[in-house]
Amino acid sequence: MQKNIIISGVGGQGILTIASIIDLAAMNLGLNVKQAEVHGMSQRGGAVESHLRISSEEIFSDLIPKGKADIILSIEPMESLRYLPFLSPDGVIVTATEPYVNIPNYPELDELLKTIADSTKHIFVNADSLAKEAGSAKSYNVVMLGAAAPYLEIAVEELEKAIEMLFLLKGKEMVDMNIKAFRLGLESALNT
Amino acid sequence: MNKQLLLGAEAIAQAALDAGISGVYAYPGTPSTEITQFIQQSSQARESGVRSKWSVNEKTAYEAALGMSYAGKRALVCMKHVGLNVAADAFMNSAITGVHGGLVIVVADDPSMHSSQNEQDSRVYGKFAMLPVLEPSNQQETYDIVRYAFNLSEDVKLPVLLRIPTRLSHSRSVVVRTEATPQNQLDPTQEKNKWILLPVNARKGYHSLLEKQTQLENFSEFSKFNKVISGAGDKAVIAFGIGYNYVMEVIKTYNLNMPVLKLSQYPLPEQKIRDFTEKYQDILIAEEGYPVYEELLKGFFGNSKFRGRLDGALPRTGELSPNVLAKALGVKTNDEQTVPSVVAPRPPMLCQGCSHRDLFDALIQAMESYPQRHVFGDIGCYTLGALPPYNAISTCVDMGASVTMAKGAADAGLFPAVAVIGDSTFTHSGITGLLDAVNDGSAVTVIISDNETTAMTGGQDSSGSGKYYDICKGIGVDEKHIRQIVPLKRNFEENVKVLKEEFEYKGVSVIISQRECVQTAVKSKKKAAR
């Protein structure tokens, strides 16, 4: 088993939390993990990405080769396309549809979504409304993780167990809310 | 021992703790910051009393680490690549003094300049100082190599340089620890003369360093970190450090069969390389960073069997990747897909509510009436003031250069001569330059944009918080010309007025523009709520 996942978004959107949950679940299953992150200058409201690789065999490169990503999991629609060169021809884009506009020349949303739809297999998620339904707009990223879950080849229970482990320090309420967010995302992807 | 998911940076920190360090010394800098941060947050470090506060700059960090080594204990010192330029005086001379307790210096290089001003390769410094250099390829090897480095340092009585690139420092993987070693006891060196670098002693020390080179090479010959991965054919690869990962990725993905010599410990093992290179006619050299060893192996007159960054087989600049290695190894990959044109660039920017923003608004207004509008900038978040919509900064060169460049430009007659420097950068390397300006009576206005933290690297404590007024006064800036402003929208008019008044003053003036970083403010609010 091997999965190459690009997680993308804008600095501060919580992509590292998504990565931590998948990392933890994979490690619990005894899989090998490599996850390259972005720190420093590029974090300040700029585009950020994480290369996450899980495999039952030894993983060498910390970076996913171009054309070899199975999934682009994006918390922001335009950012999903920035990493298109990494996506394998039969890969999938799972992206939130709400744009994060902090630049003056942000493209038209319709054009963006059409470009994604024309490029590859895709799942669009209204992450904002699902996150609010779960109880907090901040669970946006976990909604997106749920939506990507069907493509990760990691059992849903393992991912939920990892969410529990990660949020336990912040209290049971946080765990429940994030599990709910995860399930809403998952459901939304399965019904697409 | 338990498996842990650690960043390369964190693997270094954990290994150093397990190796029994008594202190870590560092100034924050991407991609090295997380090493020290990990130790600061480690309960193991707290329980065993490992000292870990941030240093004022890389030079003070290095010297303190050397002092700890003098006293017989193990010390770790960490910095980013350009930080070694600052610490270079101490670093070069510590190769002559040698060490007593184990001393490992970690330098995190930033090929492709993700967060840096250049992509200098610290291995050059290692060669320059004639010290052992270690360059691990993955997180587990990083842990193991740090453990080894402390023993090596005490065996050969020299500092050991560990070099990692961004992609290893900031990539996470599973690490298994080995049993921890206790700290050394206090045991100051008795070999006093070798630490006094008077010419008579320094000459001896230099000879001793030269004599140790054979021993160092021997360690490299038999190092478990340098090994041959067998394969067939007459094409081969020599892969250095993280370059090994990319090479092996390509070999595995495309089922190639070719021998690889993996190198992670230098000086180069001559015999090992001779034995390997004699067998093959086409050898690709994969180095992350400068073609340091490629140049050496190729020689001045060139040897066409070695390919790499110098002949264009690999790009001359930037970090390596599986794709550039695939191309260099003659593999056809499907990577023609480009980024769709609809995607707009999203560069980093100053946060909403950031105090630097209000300072730049006032500064731009205050400069407006002058025909010459040059603002000397420095290293930190506020460098982003160089980008639109502000376009407020004319220079960004090195830590502290804003003050001294403004002074030099003022000496040349530029008016007004304005510097903008962050609080942490000011204590790092700005104070000495300000003293130059005071002694020369230069007509400069130095704005210290004090957000009470080292913000760009994630909000580390700043060495001079609460002391800037006293520092400036203490080195002789006229109190009437040390002004304090609060960069807020409602103070805009007043702030513009203060700036203009000080521009007009024909001597040294300092404006301390103080308001807490919005990021750390949010963090401390959260902390207080808990």
Convert the pLDDT of each residue in B44-65 to its tens digit: 999 999 999 999 999 999 999 9
- Looking at residue A39, its pLDDT comes to 73
Tally of helices (H runs) and strands (E runs) in chain B: 20, 18
Q: pLDDT under 70 in chain A at which residues?
A: 40-43
Q: How far is CA A56 from the centre of its chain?
A: 21
Pairwise CA distance, residues B201 & B130, whole Å: 18
Q: Quick check: B434 and B472 in contact, CB under 8 A?
A: yes
Q: What is the dihedral of CA A104, A109, A114, A116, to 10 degrees?
A: 70
Q: List, edge to edge, every strand of the sheet that includes B282-286.
A: B227-229, B260-263, B235-240, B282-286, B306-307
| CB proximity list for B457: less than 8 A, separation 6 or greater | A40, B28, B29, B30, B33
CB contact under 8 A, A85 and B30: no
Contacts of B246 in chain A (CB under 8 A): 60-61, 63
CB contact under 8 A, A44 and B348: yes
Q: What is the DSSP letter of B242?
A: T
**Least CA distance to A113: which residue of chain B?**
B342
- Looking at residue A41, its pLDDT comes to 59
ipTM: 0.94
CB contact under 8 A, B31 and A33: no
CB contact under 8 A, B349 and A62: no
CB nearest to A34's CB, from B173, B343, B344: B173
Convert the pLDDT of each residue in A127-171 to its tens digit: 999 999 999 999 999 999 999 999 999 999 999 999 999 999 899
Q: Quick check: A10 and A46 in contact, CB under 8 A?
A: yes
Domains of chain B: 3-184+198-221 (3.40.50.970), 227-328 (3.40.50.920), 355-522 (3.40.50.970)
CB nearest to A82's CB, from B31, B334, B343: B343
CATH of domain A2-101+118-190: 3.40.920.10
- Looking at residue A40, its pLDDT comes to 62
CB contact under 8 A, A38 and B342: no
CB contact under 8 A, A40 and B242: no
- Looking at residue A64, its pLDDT comes to 97
Q: Which helix (H) or strand (E) holds B318?
A: none
CB nearest to A60's CB, from B5, B248, B340: B248
CB contact under 8 A, A87 and B337: yes
Q: Quick check: B59 and B89 in contact, CB under 8 A?
A: yes
CB contact under 8 A, B456 and A85: no
| Test the A interface: residue of B335, B337, B526 with most A CBs within 10 Å | B337
| Test the A interface: residue of B41, B346, B457, B460 with most A CBs within 10 Å | B346
Q: What is the largest CA-CA distance in chain A?
A: 45
CB contact under 8 A, A41 and B174: no
CB contact under 8 A, B334 and A67: yes
| Test the B interface: residue of A10, A43, A44, A57 with most B CBs within 10 Å | A44
CB contact under 8 A, B343 and A105: no
Convert the pLDDT of each residue in B481-513 to its tens digit: 999 999 999 999 999 999 999 999 999 999 999
Contacts of B28 in chain A (CB under 8 A): none
Q: pLDDT under 70 in chain B at which residues?
A: 1, 530
- Looking at residue A107, its pLDDT comes to 97
**Least CA distance to A67: which residue of chain B?**
B335
Q: Quick check: B157 and B99 in contact, CB under 8 A?
A: yes
| CB proximity list for B412: less than 8 A, separation 6 or greater | none
Contacts of A87 in chain B (CB under 8 A): 337
- Looking at residue A97, its pLDDT comes to 97
